[in-house]
Every structure is written in C-alpha cells, then in structure tokens.
Amino acid sequence: MRLEKTDVVLPRLPRELDGLRIAHLSDFHLGVPSRGERAVERAVDWVEERQPDLTVITGDLLSRRRGEPQLRELLARLPNCFAVFGNHDYAITKDPFAQRAELAELAPARLLADEAETLELRGRAVQIVGVDPRSYRRGRSRPERLADPDADLRILLCHFPQVIDRLDPDVFDLVLAGHLHAGQICIPYPGGRLRLAHVRWTYVEGLYERPGGVLHLSAGLGTTFVPFRLFARPAAYELVLHSGG
C-alpha cells in the first residue's frame, strides 16, 4: 500500500494554518476477509505515529456488522478524528451480502451526518461539514447551508466525489471524498488504465481544483465484491495545507 504526503495549496488559507496536517483515510470496508483489513491497520499505525492536526474518514467504514469491534478499536487510536458514512454503511449497494451498519455514533471519533462542527486550531476557526450519503443520493443534501461564512477554513466531507460539481463557488476551501477505490480492478494500456469498477467517472484519485473548492479524492484502503485490487493500490494520505498567498 501507499503512505503518501501531499501538499495542498488553498488560496484563502490564513498563514497561521500554513502547514496544517490532515490525515485522509477512506473506504475501510471492514467485516469481510480481505487484504484491505491489513491496509487499514497499517494506515492507522501510520496516522497514530505521525499525530496530524486532524484525521478525517470519508465513508464506507463497514461492509459487515461483525467488523464493528475492530472499527471502534481503530478509531480510538486516531487523533482528532471526524468521519462520515458511505453508501455501504447503509447497505445502499449492489453487493447482495451487504449489511446495514447499526451505528449511531463513533465515539471518540465524531460522526457528521448533514451536520457541522467548528473547532479552534492554531487560534483559527476550522469548520468541518459532513454529508449524509442517504440525503446525497436523494438529492436533498445542502451542505452549503451549514457553512459558516466566518470560519477561517471550511472543509467538506462527503463519500461521493461528484459533490464538488454541486457546490457553489467559494463556499468550501477543501472537499474530501472516497468511494471509487481508484477503480480497484484496472487494466493498464499505453497512456492510461481501464478502470473496470468505475469506467465513466470524471474523478478517480488525487487533487482536483474546481470552482466548488479543491477536491482530494482518496484511493481508499479496502475492497468490495472481490477481496483484492489490481493496479489500484490502497493508500493513506497526509495532506499538508499551504496558503496560496
């Protein structure tokens, strides 16, 4: 798996927050035997060792309910952690064996479901808004209504990367998403890769600058349908924020 440090330039980031470190994890899919389980454990070890300012998890924590004890043990080790659910956490998937997670909270991590929380980091107000995958799928999610115009940094967590194209400009600075597993099963060809799991998607992995903000899309850690990846290695990220000025 990959453990990556990624520099992210945000145009309006206050200088006090320059160098702020955010660990971005996604798509654990715990509860089924797979190599992804080991990738999740390695990622949590890495984040715990590095102690970033924030840890965020962008959905699909469980594929089966039996993974809950392991999930809670891992979350307890992550510093200053915020999370949203993904479609698999509610069994909204084509996987016929998916189980809805019976989770109402993730303490000590903070679960955000169409909710916002503001915390102070380095003397500045940092707001984190989380999108519920159910309201997103129904077209009812309005995260911009939760955005605090007085916050010095506004971060949106959503399992689905397409949210970036639904956002009004200049509402959020940073948008973090998962869901796509970088294709999970990929066939290389000269000049690119055929991503079998998500052939027609605009966003695959990495950084994208759009009017709705800077999107970071995680390749995720776990797997769905088949317990392996091909030319789509799992990844955990440390995002280091920098001021555009």
Instruction: List the CATH number of the domain containing 18.
Output: 3.60.21.10
Task: Give whole-number Cα distances, 164 to 33, 52, 106, 199, 214, in Å.
Answer: 33, 25, 26, 19, 8
CA separation for the pair 162, 230 (Å, rounded): 24
CA separation for the pair 189, 140 (Å, rounded): 39
* Torsion over CA: 104, 109, 114, 115 (sign): positive
Closest CA to 175 of 154, 193, 192, 145: 154
Q: Number of folded domains in the chain?
A: 1
| Predicted local confidence at residue 212, as pLDDT | 96
Angle at 204 between CA 170 and CA 96, to 5 degrees: 115
CB 115 within 8 A of CB 109: no
- Cα-only R_g, the chain: 17
Q: At what angle do helices 68-75 and 35-50 cross, to 10 degrees?
A: 20
The two structure tokens encoding residue 211: 């009017």
Residue 224 forms beta bridges with which residues? Answer: none
Per-residue confidence in pLDDT tens, the chain, 245 aa = 899 999 999 999 999 999 999 999 999 999 988 888 999 999 999 999 999 999 999 999 999 999 999 999 999 999 999 999 999 899 888 776 677 888 889 999 999 999 999 999 999 999 999 999 999 999 999 999 999 999 999 999 999 999 999 999 999 999 999 998 887 877 787 767 777 666 567 898 999 999 999 999 999 999 888 888 877 899 999 999 999 86
**H/E segment holding residue 231:** none
The two structure tokens encoding residue 227: 């317990």
| Predicted local confidence at residue 26, as pLDDT | 98
CB 119 within 8 A of CB 91: no
Domain span at residue 137 reads 2-243
The two structure tokens encoding residue 188: 């290389």
CB 28 within 8 A of CB 178: no
Q: What SS3 state is found at 162?
A: helix
| Predicted local confidence at residue 199, as pLDDT | 59
Give the number of other Cβ atoms within 10 Å of residue 55's Cβ.
Answer: 25
The two structure tokens encoding residue 62: 């469980």
| Predicted local confidence at residue 200, as pLDDT | 67
Residue whose tokens read 């990929």: 186
